[in-house]
Amino acid sequence: MVDILFLEDDKLLAQSLLDELEDSAYSVDWVQESDDAARNCYEKNYKLYLFDVNVPGLNGFELLDQLRKSGDTTPAIFLTSQNQIDDLKKGFEVGADDYIKKPFDLHEILIRIKSKMPKSSKVQLSFDFSIEALTSKVICKEVEKKLPYKEFSLLEYLCKNQDVLLSPDDIIFALYEDTTISIATFRTYIKNLKRHLHGCIEIENMKGVGYKFKVL
């Protein structure tokens, strides 16, 4: 699951914040237009929305208003140069959880983002095995390991599909969509998971068909 949907049409600002977020181990989908943001909201689940207001298409207020009316309760923070009291009032009226005026301090943004994230996302798959999505940690037989984000995302997906036969193409599309990840890179992730979690999991490779995962 991707942590954050980030709607911002200022490329320089977006890149600086993206770097900070990724350095803090968040995964982010960045879009520049509200139509793309709306599409992503309906196709994926996020833990947080970061929305600029003045963007192509619907503005951020209108977008969040539509999402809230559709029943979407994902926490949302506006990052905007709209700094009048009426703008602040509008932002909260349409369902914002926080409202941050530009220019802002990147460290403050990270603090506010952390405060809006779920406090725990632990999934217990057996008595001896659990994963914690917020920290990319795996606990196996009381041994705690932190995995690289991409490998943890793969593990998280496999955990949700225990004992299901999955083709490499299905997994790659579900996790990485239109990115150009190669089969060779994907196999490296599988190999690394087996090495990191030897004795905790089994990933069976059914040659020419796909993979089947289970917790030992």
The structural architecture, per CATH, of the domain 122-215 is: Orthogonal Bundle (1.10)
Instruction: State the pairing for strand pair 98-101/76-80.
Output: parallel
Q: Where are the domains of the chain?
A: 4-116, 122-215
Reference 106, options 29, 18, 8, 25; nearest CA is 18
pLDDT at 39: 92
Q: What is the pLDDT of residue 57?
A: 92
pLDDT score recorded for residue 119 = 66
Q: So what's the pLDDT on residue 134? A: 66
Ranges in the chain, pLDDT < 50: none
Q: What does CATH list as the number for 4-116? A: 3.40.50.2300
CB atoms closer than 10 angstroms to residue 134: 16
Q: What span, in angstroms and rounded, lies between the C-alpha atoms of 2 and 110?
A: 17
Question: Would you mind telling me the total number of residues written for the chain in this entry?
Answer: 216
Quick one: three-class SS letters along 17-51? HHHHHHHCCCCEEEECCHHHHHHHHHHCCCCEEEE
